[in-house]
Structure 1
Amino acid sequence: MQTQPLAYRARPTTLDEIIGQTHLVGPGAVLRKMVETNHYTSLILYGDSGIGKTTIAHVLGASFGLNTFTFNASTDSKANLKAVIEQARHYGALLIVDEIHRMKKDIQDYLLPHVESGLIIMIGLTTNNPYHSVNAAIRSRAHVYKLHPIPHDTLVGYLETLIARYSDEITATFSPEVLDYIARISNREIRAAINRLELLNHTFPGESIQLSQAEHILQKPSLTLDKDEDNYYNVLSAFQKSIRGSDVDASLHYLARLIAMEDLDSILRRLSVIAYEDVGLANPSVFTKTEAAAQACLRVGFPEARIILSALVIDLALSPKSNTACAAIDKALKDLEDGKMGKIPNHLINIENFEDKTPYLYPHSYPNHVVAQRYMPDELVGTRYYEGAETGQYEAALKARNKALKKILDSE
């Protein structure tokens, strides 16, 4: 009886067998050139799960002819790494670091000098974008390459090749529509597709598998929504951008994908951001609606929370939009970063000093509770951060009031 999964046994052993990554391993591509010229260098490979990062790393290890070791940055200790370094001292080694974005600082500090000296050739693997998640000290010592998702037709063709290659054990017959279904619900992950193919073969040995049978056994697609991976944050990003773009149907689609993960806290946090960043002052009633919806969702939980979320997302997506509040504070922060700060006017300071101090004018003592006096530092007089918009009645009124107030304040 065969105990090793087919996905493990079918793993490529040469660059020629790797699919979907021609830009890295095809003729004239960088990794193939690296093997052909016998030139080793440290790498970081990133991309979705199940598309070949680990496989490429092991193929390169075999091609380089170096002792190859694996290290999981999440679970392995510094002692494990020291053992690898000791074995590498005389002959060098290739170290495959899985989940490199999770590497602890003390382990990183120990490893980097050996990478820099060339004693260790490191291939880091991550599903996250390393430009956001991997420490710059590690990135600076490695070349970063992204793996592409496997094209649907390429994955279907690979499954057909696999069936022919293992015809002695894959006795079931798979129609094109069944293979298409397997590839589609596997979200272009090679490993997931092979596992599903193997499951169907074990379930219906020697039979001609119908699409209805495949749907019954496999039941639902791989959502590829690991909360620790980039794909999850890509869905959150698409969710916010769809609401920002006022596409209510796309917003609901991405909401459904997030609900499937049942990570209510992340959904509510993102909706709070959307309410203030994207709808903003164009419809400030959504601020209290979002808070009320969040409390209701936390009170009832899933599955009922889906109804509350749907109502809120529809409201946010169809509301008028304004990012003037976000843009205003970003401009103010940019001035601060650029050193545009200035001295606070004396009349705004409570503590006595030895400088001449113009009396502070108390606005509530004047008509309409406003009086002409300077509030900005000298260096920033005349600076405008808030630029009103007219995308909603409320902000249109704010814009008009701001214009009237500036006439009074600027007359100082």
Structure 2
Amino acid sequence: MADLFAPDPVDPADEPAGARPLADQLRPKTLDEVIGQTHMLGPDGTLRRMIASGRLGSLILWGPPGTGKTTVARLLADQIGYKFKQISAVFSGVADLKKVFEEARFERLSGRKTLLFVDEIHRFNRAQQDGFLPVMEDGTVVLVGATTENPSFELNAALLSRSQVLRFESLSLEDLEKLAQRAETLTGDTLPLDPEARATLMTLADGDGRALLGLVEEVFASAKPGEMLDSAALLTVVQRRAPIYDKAQDGHYNLISALHKTIRGSDPDAALYYFARMLDAGEDPLFLARRLIRMSVEDIGLADPQALPQAVAGRDAYQMLGSPEGELALAQVVVYLALAPKSNAVYTAFKGATSVAKATGSPMPPMVILNAPTKMMKGAGYGDGYVYDHDTPEGFSGQEYFPEKIGRQQFYQPVERGFERELSKRMDYFGRLRTARREGETK
């Protein structure tokens, strides 16, 4: 196996420019050349402040592929004068780590600090992650780890507590356009795309600068002399990239959270956007149907009693029609739920009732509402004094149903929106009848 830490056998400066990928040729030489991440690299950004102080702490760079994590780490080392070492968690083991730690200790003795960049650090197991702690604490290395996964889920708490997490954002369409222009300047050619196809190319990159440059190379290599490609022709030339979305990881949870909150926030357009993004990324439509059913009871409830039947009907329609026809039924549910009056009163009431039920154990219900199927139970007072509600003029007896140990509770408090306004009136009505009955019993 080749030495993972050995220098490149060929200096890129000695290679012809055309022999290297565009992404390598356009790699920024200074932090000022980095496109995007202005929240960190702007005049008042986090990294600029670190550089100005001359001190660099351990960092976790978290963000999608192709957003500049490796480049920024290398430039940070250059800017502050640290020795840069790079390893990948995919190819490295304990022996490799020990070797780089020894090299860093040697450098430290000569007065030079080492920035150890660990790509895909989340792929190290928990024990391997713990191995970084001693060398971070004694200053042997400044660790800069890069990950595409949520550090809260994938990295040890001890490692996170010793590092600052910096979030890298996907490149915007404007950022990608700047990168494409740099590629055109470098090559001396203009992309043979009409305006619509050029916009499509930026969208296909999905915020990934490295992917965009790969697509640019495909276009240059595939277009015939003098040919101008429209969007349809572009899609036949390049292979469409799947959106960055792992159904078991962070992208999945980010988008379902966005969908849920836009429906809760009564924004049907934003909700449809996130719904469409998830479908486009290959999400299981039945997963979305289940989540919509949950939203109908959690965020709407009895403010619109039709929300749950609509969500269930949308799921049933999808199961009958399949994709893509059934997706329209789910889209209809998305719009309906977004525009429905909102209430979490049932959700809150259920949580409250569950909390009291767990905290109070198992007190006996009032004897008056217990059945008496045997003579012995009837003689013991089971069901004694029970009033059959339908025998009363109002169809309401007003009896006390809570265990005496707990006393009367109110969990459900309807909001003044939608159908729950009517339910609030009913609750007030029954409350007045219950009070009147109690006062009559005490006279």
TM-score interval w.r.t. the shorter chain? 0.7 to 0.9
CA distance in 1, matches of 2:191, 2:338: 48
Superimposed CA distance per residue, residues 284-342 of structure 1 (whole angstroms, 9 cap, x where no aligned partner):
45435544644664576433432442343344334443211223345567889xxx946
Is 1:48 the counterpart of 2:69? The answer is no
The two structures have a TM-score, normalised by structure 2, of 0.72
Is 1:58 the counterpart of 2:79? The answer is no
SS in structure 1 at match of 2:218: helix
The amino acid across from 1:193 in the alignment is L
Superimposed CA distance per residue, residues 175-234 of structure 1 (whole angstroms, 9 cap, x where no aligned partner):
766544433442333122212211111112654634454355347576333435544433
1:22 to 38, 41, 52: 38
1:214 to 228, 234, 237: 234
Q: Which moved more, 1:135-144 or 1:101-110?
A: 101-110
1:281 to 302, 326, 351: 302
CA distance in 1, matches of 2:384, 2:218: 76
CA distance in 2, matches of 1:17, 1:324: 53
CA distance in 2, matches of 1:71, 1:365: 74
Q: 1:21 to 1:250 in 2, by over 3 A?
A: closer
Is 1:203 the counterpart of 2:222? The answer is yes
Give the structure 2 partner of residue 224 of structure 1: 244
Q: Which moved more, 1:43-52 or 1:207-216?
A: 207-216
CA distance in 2, matches of 1:23, 1:16: 13
Larger radius of gyration: 2
In structure 1, list runs of 5 or more residues that go unmatched: 351-358
The amino acid across from 1:366 in the alignment is V
CA distance in 2, matches of 1:335, 1:125: 45
SS in structure 2 at match of 1:365: coil
Superimposed CA distance per residue, residues 87-120 of structure 1 (whole angstroms, 9 cap, x where no aligned partner):
4443364333344456532223232233222223
SS in structure 2 at match of 1:90: helix
Equivalence map 1:96-111=2 (5 Å): 96-101=117-122, 103-111=124-132
8 Å CA contact retained: 1:172, 1:204: no
Cα offset, 1:242, TM superposition: 3.1
Q: 1:363 to 1:179 in 2, by over 3 A?
A: farther
1:267 to 279, 284, 288: 288
The amino acid across from 2:38 in the alignment is T
Give the structure 2 partner of residue 386 of structure 1: 412
CA distance in 1, matches of 2:384, 2:43: 75
2:276 to 252, 256, 278: 256
SS in structure 2 at match of 1:11: coil
Q: 1:158 to 1:289 in 2, by over 3 A?
A: closer
SS in structure 1 at match of 2:115: strand
Q: 1:383 to 1:101 in 2, by over 3 A?
A: farther
CA distance in 2, matches of 1:360, 1:100: 69
8 Å CA contact retained: 1:282, 1:320: yes
Q: How many residues align?
A: 395
1:118 to 127, 139, 152: 139
Give the structure 1 partner of residue 10 of structure 2: none
Q: Which moved more, 1:205-214 or 1:327-336?
A: 327-336
Give the structure 1 partner of residue 399 of structure 2: 371
1:144 to 149, 165, 168: 165
The two structures have a TM-score, normalised by structure 1, of 0.76
1:90 to 102, 106, 125: 106
CA distance in 2, matches of 1:137, 1:322: 41
CA distance in 2, matches of 1:262, 1:364: 61
The amino acid across from 2:414 in the alignment is G
CA distance in 1, matches of 2:403, 2:344: 25
8 Å CA contact retained: 1:178, 1:209: no
Equivalence map 1:235-254=2 (5 Å): 235-254=255-274
Give the structure 1 partner of residue 13 of structure 2: none
CA distance in 2, matches of 1:105, 1:147: 24
Is 1:70 the counterpart of 2:91? The answer is no
Give the structure 1 partner of residue 374 of structure 2: none
SS in structure 2 at match of 1:193: helix
Q: Percent of aligned pairs with the same residue?
A: 32
8 Å CA contact retained: 2:63, 2:170: yes
Q: 1:286 to 1:7 in 2, by over 3 A?
A: same
In structure 2, list runs of 5 or more residues that go unmatched: 1-15, 109-113, 371-379, 390-396
Cα offset, 1:43, TM superposition: 0.8
